[in-house]
C-alpha cells in the first residue's frame, strides 16, 4: 500500500464495509481511508460497485456490515435529524444527474443554497457565476428535459459545487461530455480541490485517469483490488 494513503487527516474512513443487495455483495469487506483534500478516482468495470461506494457515504443506502466515518460522524449512529447536515458536507453529481424536471436550471441550483438558508440576493449572484463557470449561462431558464445530456451534467456539477461542500462526489461526471468539455469539468473539480475540497470521482474512463493523474481506488466485483497513485501523463 502506498504512503499517500495516509491515515492522517482522514475525512472518510471505511472499516470492513460490506454492502449487500438481497444476498448479492455489491461491496465486500472494504477498508480504506480518504484524506482531507485528496483527489481520488474510484475505478473499475461496470458493476464493480463504484456508485454503491458513493451512495453509502451520503446514506443513499444503508451499510450492511462494517462502519463508515465521514468527517467525524459515524454513519451507523447518526440521528435522523442530522442526515441533512451530513448531506450538506457533500456536493454530489449523480450518475443519472437527478435534476428536478419541473424546475429550471437556475432553480435546480438555487435549491441547494435556499435549503441552506442563504440570502436570496446572494443566491442570485452565486448561481449566475456557477452557470457561467460551467458554460451554460444561456440555459438558465431551460428545464432539464430540454437540455442535452452534457448540459444536464453541467447543471448537476454546478449544483454539486454550489454550497461549497467539503467533499465532492462525482459519479461519471464526464460520461456525456466530449473530450474538451470533460477537460473543462475536470479543471473545475481541480479548482474545487485547490479551494480545500476533497474530491471523489467514480469513473471507468482509465484514459481520463491517466491524463489527469491522481490516487486511484480500483474495485473489482465489489472487492478492493488496488489502491495506487498514477502519475500525470506528460
Partner 1 sequence: MRTFIEKGFFNFITIATISLSGLTVGAFLLFIVNADMVMASWTKDVRIMAYLEPDIDSQRIDQIRTQLQALEGIDLVVFISGDTALEQLKSEMKRHQSIFDNLKVNPLPDSFELHPVHVPEHFGRFERLARFVEQIPEVSEVEYGEKWLGRIANIIKLFKITVYAMSALFIGASVFFVANTIRLVLYSKRDEVEIMKLVGASDRYIKTPFYINSLLHGGIGGGVGLAALYILFRLLETSVLSGLPANLVSLSFLPPEIACSIFGGSVMVGWIGCFLSLKRFLK
Ligand X SMILES: Nc1ncnc2c1ncn2[C@@H]1O[C@H](COP(=O)(O)OP(=O)(O)OP(=O)(O)O)[C@@H](O)[C@H]1O
Q: Give me the residues that bind Mg ion (CB under 5 A), please.
A: 50-51, 95
CB atoms within 10 A of CB 12: 20
User: How many angstroms separate the CA atoms of 172 and 96, rounded?
Assistant: 9
| Distance in Å, CB of 226 to partner 1, minimum | 30
Contact positions vs ligand X (CB under 6 A): 21, 26, 44, 46-52, 95, 204
Site for partner 1 (CB under 8 A): which residue of 2, 6, 9, 115?
Answer: 115
| Distance in Å, CB of 198 to ligand X, minimum | 20
Question: Phi and psi for 57 in degrees, rounded to 5?
Answer: -65, -45
Name the residue nearer to ligand X (CB basis): 111 or 227: 227
Kindly give, in sequence order, each residue whose CB lies less than 8 Å from that of residue 91, ignoring residues fewer than 6 positions away: 159, 160, 161, 162, 163, 165, 167, 168, 169, 192, 197
168 sits near partner 1 (criterion: CB under 8 A): no
| Distance in Å, CB of 51 to Mg ion, minimum | 3
Nearest CA-CA partner of 174 in 202, 147, 215? 202
88 sits near partner 1 (criterion: CB under 8 A): yes
85 sits near partner 1 (criterion: CB under 8 A): yes
| Per-residue cell: 100 | 428536478
Nearest CA-CA partner of 130 in 17, 84, 118, 146? 118
Q: Which does 52 bind (CB under 5 to 8 A by kind): ligand X, Mg ion, partner 1, none?
A: ligand X
Name the residue nearer to partner 1 (CB basis): 167 or 182: 167
Name the residue nearer to ligand X (CB basis): 21 or 119: 21
Amino acid at each position: 500500500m502506498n504512503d499517500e494513503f495516509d491515515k492522517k487527516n482522514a475525512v472518510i474512513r471505511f472499516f470492513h464495509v460490506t454492502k449487500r443487495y438481497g444476498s448479492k455483495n455489491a461491496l465486500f469487506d472494504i477498508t480504506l481511508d480518504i484524506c482531507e483534500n485528496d483527489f481520488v478516482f474510484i475505478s473499475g468495470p461496470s458493476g464493480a460497485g463504484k456508485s454503491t461506494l458513493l451512495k453509502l457515504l451520503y446514506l443513499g443506502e444503508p451499510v450492511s456490515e462494517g462502519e463508515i466515518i465521514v468527517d467525524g460522524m459515524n454513519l451507523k449512529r447518526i440521528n435522523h435529524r442530522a442526515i441533512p447536515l451530513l448531506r450538506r458536507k457533500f456536493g454530489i453529481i449523480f450518475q443519472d444527474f437527478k435534476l428536478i424536471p419541473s424546475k429550471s436550471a437556475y432553480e435546480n441550483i438555487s435549491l441547494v443554497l435556499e435549503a441552506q438558508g442563504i440570502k436570496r440576493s446572494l443566491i442570485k449572484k452565486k448561481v449566475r457565476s456557477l452557470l457561467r463557470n460551467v458554460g451554460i449561462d444561456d440555459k438558465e431558464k431551460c428545464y432539464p428535459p430540454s437540455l442535452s445530456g452534457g448540459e444536464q451534467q453541467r447543471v448537476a456539477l454546478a449544483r454539486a459545487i454550489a454550497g461549497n461542500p467539503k467533499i465532492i462526489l462525482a459519479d461519471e461526471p464526464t460520461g456525456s461530455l466530449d473530450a474538451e468539455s470533460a477537460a473543462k469539468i475536470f479543471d473545475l473539480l481541480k479548482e474545487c480541490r485547490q479551494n480545500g475540497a476533497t474530491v471523489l470521482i467514480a469513473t471507468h474512463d482509465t484514459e481520463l485517469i491517466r491524463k489527469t493523474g491522481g490516487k486511484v481506488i480500483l474495485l473489482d466485483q465489489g472487492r478492493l483490488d488496488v489502491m495506487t497513485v498514477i502519475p500525470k501523463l506528460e
